[in-house]
Chain A
Amino acid sequence: MSERAPALELFRLQKTYPSPKGPAVIVKDFSLNLKRGEFVTLIGHSGCGKSTVLSMVAGLTSVTDGGIILEGRESTGPGPDRGIVFQSPCLLPWMSVFDNVMLGVEQVYFTASKTERRELAEYYLSVVGLGDAMKKSPGELSQGMRQRVGIARAFALQPKMLLLDEPFGMLDALTKIELQQVLLDLWRRNRLTTLMVTHDVNEAIYLSDRVVMMTNGPEATLGEILEIDFPRPRKREMVLNDPLFTAYRDHLVSYLTERSHQRNEPKTYTKENLLTFTSDPVAKDHTAAA
């Protein structure tokens, strides 16, 4: 297939749940294309439906209307061609770390020899820094280590794309920074098309090529798109100290605080036409207090 076709195409996705007061529309008319090897982050207020979109792409939530096309094929159910890292690592506690990764590897590489499969699982576990902990059970690991296993498990499937559902949401600040690095290192080697959900603005800017802002629910949809123009590989200090980073963050925060309830034609912003707060949020707080 051609290099220019999108790796993932979301076409007018809609999710409706039946409720006592009639159908509740969570997500409506959500359309987005991801280029091959692109890292896109969905950001929005909690409960806006960003996780629902991710879950629909994963095939774990049924699609009420619209379509998902992954690498030119309509995707209708879950499958190992999409590696998922959940917010909680979802490791099976009765299996060793190694067996948790092997469970997926055996499913995907059923034609490979036993040695090849073992090597693959071992490779990904050592890349995420768990070379010495493979025989341990998940219960013996810290939250951060468990999430490393979750990342290794997703990459070891060598999927067509990666889905990350607030993967660092439950970690402390330092562990979060460490794991963002682990993720970026792995991602650079594989260049997997990635769709991530987060509510951490800094994380979104640091990791993504594009940040997609969602409007508030119900009937949440695409609000704005922000293209992040930092060269890769990115260095954390460089990105954080760049004045552009602050400008990106102002744009995102001002969207979340001031524009996320509006419904306009989705517009793409780049570093040339960034928006910022219509009024100084600090000054506004002062007047509110007074």
Chain B
Amino acid sequence: MSETTVEAVGVPRARQMLELAGWASRAYARYDSATVQRIAEAVVRVAESKAEHYADWAVRETGFGVVEHKIVKNKLCSRGILDAYRDSDYVSPRIHAERKIVEVPRPAGVILALTPSTNPVSTVYFKVLLALLTRNAIVVSPHPFAKECCADAARELGKAAVAAGAPDGVVQVVDEPSIPLIDALMTDERTNVILATGGVPVVRAAYGSGNPAIGVGPGNVPVLVDATADLHRAATKLVDSKAFDNSILCTNESVLVVEESVADRFIRELERSGAYLLKDEERDRVRDVVFPEGRFDTSLVGKDASDIAARAQVRTPSRTRILLAPFDAAVDEEPLAHEKLCPVLGLVRVPNAQRGIRTAVALLRLGGAGHSAVIHSTDPGTVMAYAAAVRVLRVAVNEGGSTGCAGFGTNLAPSMTIGTGFVGRSSLGENLEPKHLVNWTQVAYSTDPAEVMPSFVGIHPEEAPLEPVPPYPVASNAGAPTLTAVPDLPEEVPTELREELRRLILEELTAIVRG
């Protein structure tokens, strides 16, 4: 007798979501490019129109971040994404005549998307849209802190997709996420790829699931400002970036490393943009508040600078957007040298750019390997030296880190999932983009010159759906003529008419059977 495994509440139904997603992904994988674009456009329209609604809801539900910045992110992750990939085609076969290879797209299938509490709805938007552009089905499992806004958003996007012709079940969401439930979904063989955005444990669990996974590591972004930088512009960019959604993006600057010769001028520029330089005893109190017992207090994620200052009993000017916390050495035991998802920016002065690069390298040794770095400099030699030295996979130059490294304001792929590569224990080294969710079957002809690859122009495996998917089941004789039209009979049918009807029915039936 085999034992039956008792599963946690909600798990069996969540597994069924994967099953339905499997059906949907199979159907969707046959869709043509025009229909996919139409679906994506319809979804983006809804996402865009609800950007404010969900920004407000997310802040209300999580207590993290700034509504107006979340609106921006929601728009970037809807219309922004669609615009970015408008000319990309992940649907049609690619013909490489010179290489005698044809590539046929093969979508991943069922994507399990774990979304964070920090960038909740924007990440839902982002992952859903990426899935739809690549003809995948997606099951979203939101962070428990943001489950309501995320579930509602995912459902709305799913409805819009289906209304535009996408297969039913192409976007689904788990309402009550829990550890056993997420574990069950991650290890389920119906999950084709896991997109894990969240804390380190979630990402490690995704990689340990036995299923293909794309998860990324945490950041700890150094920003080097050398003597050649345009200080005014750099200060504006840096403060805007650090204040953006109160530093909730993992690409936000963590520690400013500034060359001594320009440090005071640069700090004055920062102050003009809304930074407040903490005095040493204020810095100590802020450190104790942000890192009680040396560990980051996650309740401060995305909180306003003024709230954090108030908690540390620091009086700040009313227009303060970020707090500058000076310290001397980028070493492990200095809490301020670690990642801070709140508008507190560490500050280290260095004698020259060379020391600045060493300091940035040291910061990345503490955390954030493979993630992001920023430099403000006009010297390409310094930029190259910096980029070659810091163990990250993207360096934003003369741009804010929060948005720049995430592909907004630079030409990196716009993304809510920043690959940290092998050095950051990730399978992904770039910003996550649609291409990562499709494989290509390569149809390869012989290199023998005698073998000529025929033309594949106009040969398409994909097609536009002609009816809702799946079609609503109707009886297979539904097209047969109806002789008994009206269910309620106004009066009894005379005998002769009944005979006539009987004859007609028989004739029709005989015709149907013969035909």
User: Do A and B assemble together?
Assistant: no
Residues of A within 8 A of B (CB): none
